[in-house]
Structure 1
């Protein structure tokens, strides 16, 4: 079992104090973010040593989004505790609770060398945190819950939202929204494509029914939707310059060219639910499984799958990203919760 060293009691006390203080929000103003815990977790390796997990045992952890930061560390969101987290390649955590923070979701390294993240509960906002921990919130006035976030070809932040809209935000906080899907459609993943467009997954429509659309959006808001497999969640650019995405309810990985040609690759792993996906330094696609069964998947562009077990009883894995160390880093939000890494070679 993974054991976290450090002052857990002090951390929980700080969490309670900060949660009590975190009411209200800012619109374009800097707010304090206090580092509540810094420590190093004990690694729990799998039998082959390929996958390692750094446990996060504070409060009710639900690590969600993850990205490599400009400082050589990994930064992640925690939707359970409303944390923004930072973890070094050696496993040293720094957890921060910005005042006014709510449930956080996507995170990306911005063009301004800061981290940008989405919050999506009662007061949807886009947050910016410097590597020194200074936080600024910007109102997302689109009336939707923001999810995935990416840097667009125009140097702005682009956001997938829950009401069929895509948001564009400058690093100064000016926001524009484009309607690209029905109002009851929940957009989830978003990535800047090799063709100069944004590519967005439409995960759910009508509140609960899985969708089967991937949408190409130009920076002027013009769009075209393509039919794919059911439940497309997160999306990335592959080593072949096509778009690859995880199909949660189809138990498959989808591929679509910038011209709209679609292919489906069933994982072959019974009851798997692919979630996050990213291109690795080894020329393959790496993806997570949210079902708690398959662990980490690796897929070649020819469709060959390999799976790697993740430590824990029933690990539900969310997002994945290439790290600065030629490894893939991922979030586990249950069984146990934490940040994991897998070697690619």
Structure 2
């Protein structure tokens, strides 16, 4: 356990160091659900640290990001398996294959009762109903590599374009808009709806945290270390944004006004990826080293 100026951090080992926890979310059952991208499993952990890995026999496909669906189940992207997965809180798994593959990456529940996801390899945005009906929306640039996606405050979905140097918006009817970012090589990845009615995102290529309003105005906040490689971001308790720093093994916090605090994780080189607000009011972080870190703001 480490104590910083504004955070207390504790790590919980959930798997071997080569299993690669990546995505994490809070489930409808009051537990944390996470993906093991290298081992092909989905895990569940109660806030007290007890955890289970599903299914008993690993499935292939490299599950990456995971989100709570509108149907009481968890939905995830199988990046290497070119599929969307669904797992019930009891551990029953279903898979929906994507035509023409696509490398699904980010996934989030939309305001229309469906799940929306990015197709990194083919440059498209996908939509899947809870019954498994798929719709695809191609992007203007098929090489833009859409990464993460989130529901915005304007009844639309917002997503990052890792190689497109932009943030995109798609309405439920498929209407698309792309907003270029001011800094070249920014490589935006994580994105979340902020407490201020804007979208906040990470720029892994240049070490910035970005903010974009629903009318497309962008503000960028540089991190102290340009090599921090900020990855995932989420709104946390108290109305601040929390993010992972893959390159420096830190967790950071930024206020809506732009003040930044950074906190080192206990294990150097742990490569933090996903971050989520847990059912206990703490932040939970997926670490490449086989652990989940619990971060409480002081």
Normalized against structure 1, the TM-score is what?
Answer: 0.81
> Structure 1 residue 178 and structure 2 residue 131: aligned?
no
Map of 1:303 onto structure 2: 258
**Greater Rg over alpha carbons, structure:** 1
Aligned-residue RMSD, C-alpha: 1.4
Q: How does 1:105-144 map to 2 (within 5 A)?
A: 105-121=64-80, 123-144=81-102
Which fold has the larger relative contact order, with Cα–Cα distance below 8 Å and residues 6 or more apart in sequence? Answer: 2
- Deviation of 1:184 after TM superposition, in Å, equals 1.9
Out of 286, 301, 319, the position equivalent to 2:242 is 286
Residue of structure 2 in register with 1:154 after alignment: 112
Structure 2 counterpart of 1:262, from 206, 218, 225: 218
SS at match of 1:239: coil
Task: Tell me by how many angstroms 1:80 deviates.
Answer: 1.1
CA deviation profile, 1:247-306 (whole Å, cap 9, x unmatched): 101101000000000000001235211000000121100000010x25100010111111
Q: How far apart, CA to CA, are the structure 1 residues paired with 2:238 and 2:37?
A: 31
1:250 paired residue among 206, 209, 231: 206
Structure 2 counterparts to residues 182-221 of structure 1, below 5 A: 182-204=141-163, 211-221=164-174
Aligned length, in residue pairs: 291
Unaligned runs of 5+ in 1: 1-44, 205-210
Please tell me whether residue 344 in structure 1 is matched to residue 297 in structure 2. Answer: yes
Report if the CA contact (8 A) 1:87-1:93 is conserved. Answer: yes
1:73 Cα deviation (Å)? 0.5
* Residue in structure 1 matched with residue 229 of structure 2 by the alignment: 273
Find the aligned partners of 2:138 and 2:258 in 1 and give their Cα distance. Answer: 34
Tell me by how many angstroms 1:59 deviates: 6.7
CA–CA distance in 2 between the matches of 1:212 and 1:133? 38
Q: Secondary structure at the match of 2:242?
A: strand
Aligned residues of 2:249 and 2:272 also touching (Cα < 8 A): no
SS at match of 1:282: helix
In 1: Cα distance, 2:292 partner to 2:249 partner? 17
C-alpha separation in 1, matches of 2:202 and 2:76: 21
Q: For residues 208-229 of structure 1, what are the alpha-carbon distances to aligned partners after superposition, in whole Å with 9 as ceiling and x for unaligned?
A: xxx3110111111110100114
Aligned to 2:54: 96
Q: Decide whether aligned partners of structure 1 residues 74 and 308 sit closer, same or farther in structure 2, where only a CA change above 3 A counts.
A: same
Moved over 4 A (4+): none
